[in-house]
Amino acid sequence: MQTLRPFFEWCDGTTTGQVIRDSRFLFPIIETLHLLALTVLLGSVLVLNLRLLGAALRTQPMPLVARSLDPLTFWSLLAMLITGSLLFCSEALKCFDSPPFLIKMVTLFLAIVFHWTVFRPTVNSPAEAARPRRIATAMVSMILWFGVAVAGRAIGLY
Ligand code: HEM
């Protein structure tokens, strides 16, 4: 982790980081946008996982629900990455010493990889996957995405 310190110092020293740090309003405004995007991201992921578990929208074909929610998941994730990077630049050295931040970044990486390699192929396949696979896929997806959120909240508490 020490080898990454120069990168964290560079981010902390950027003009963007300094402007946000010196402003009374920018950090709370950006964090509010971070939380708004979070509600859309976790909301779309939750609805699709409830469909996968057969607990909601059972009359709707899975690929149709997935296609309808996909743009919401994609754009809200992009908004999380942009607003998160701005928040990060304003307190990069604090994040360097924050175990919750490290846990968050690792969980976020796993959530994104799992989403695109396992989750999306499962929900987009015309033939509904076997029940054990659907349950396992939904549980892993929800644990990863909500895990990112819990670690995100823990950054401010640590
Ligand atoms: C899906 C992706 C993400 C989720 C679910 C997420 C979730 C959260 C949550 C729940 C908070 C706490 C907000 C609060 O305390 O009011 C937070 C804060 C934060 N997030 Fe994220 N986040 C994501 C992506 C990112 C990324 C990519 C970065 C950085 C590169 C990031 C950096 C931060 C920082 C620095 C904070 C502020 C922590 C503090 O209170 O000091 N987030 N995030």
- Evaluate: CB of 69 within 6 angstroms of ligand 1: no
pLDDT, tens digit, 9 for 90 and up, residues 128-158 = 778 898 999 999 999 999 999 999 999 988 8
Q: Degrees (nearest 5) of the Cα angle 151, 41, 143?
A: 45
Give the confidence band of 126 by pLDDT, cuts at 50, 70, 90. Answer: confident
- Evaluate: CB of 52 within 6 angstroms of ligand 1: no
Tokens matching residue 140: 């892993």
Type of residue found at 107: T
d(CA 88, CA 31): 11
pLDDT higher than threshold 80 for residue 84: yes
Q: Phi/psi of residue 57, each to 5°? A: 50, 40
Tokens matching residue 102: 């490290």
* Domain ranges within the chain, ordered by starting residue: 2-157
d(CA 78, CA 146): 17
Q: What is the pLDDT of residue 125?
A: 82
Q: How far is the CA of 57 from the centre of ligand 1 (A)?
A: 30
Type of residue found at 40: V
Q: How far is the CA of 56 from the centre of ligand 1 (A)?
A: 29
pLDDT, tens digit, 9 for 90 and up, residues 18-28 = 999 999 999 99
pLDDT, tens digit, 9 for 90 and up, residues 39-53 = 999 999 999 999 999
Q: What is the pLDDT of residue 113?
A: 98
Q: What is the pLDDT of residue 156?
A: 86
Nearest protein Cα to ligand 1, atom 3: 80
Give the confidence band of 94 by pLDDT, cuts at 50, 70, 90. Answer: very high
d(CA 121, CA 94): 38
pTM across the whole model: 0.90
pLDDT higher than threshold 90 for residue 2: no
Q: What is the pLDDT of residue 121?
A: 92
Region 101-122: mean pLDDT is 96
- Evaluate: CB of 81 within 6 angstroms of ligand 1: yes
d(CA 82, CA 59): 36
d(CA 120, CA 62): 11
Q: What is the pLDDT of residue 83?
A: 98
Question: In sequence order, what are the residues at sequence separation of 6 or more whose Cβ sits closer than 8 angstroms to the Cβ of residue 143?
Answer: none
Region 104-115: mean pLDDT is 97
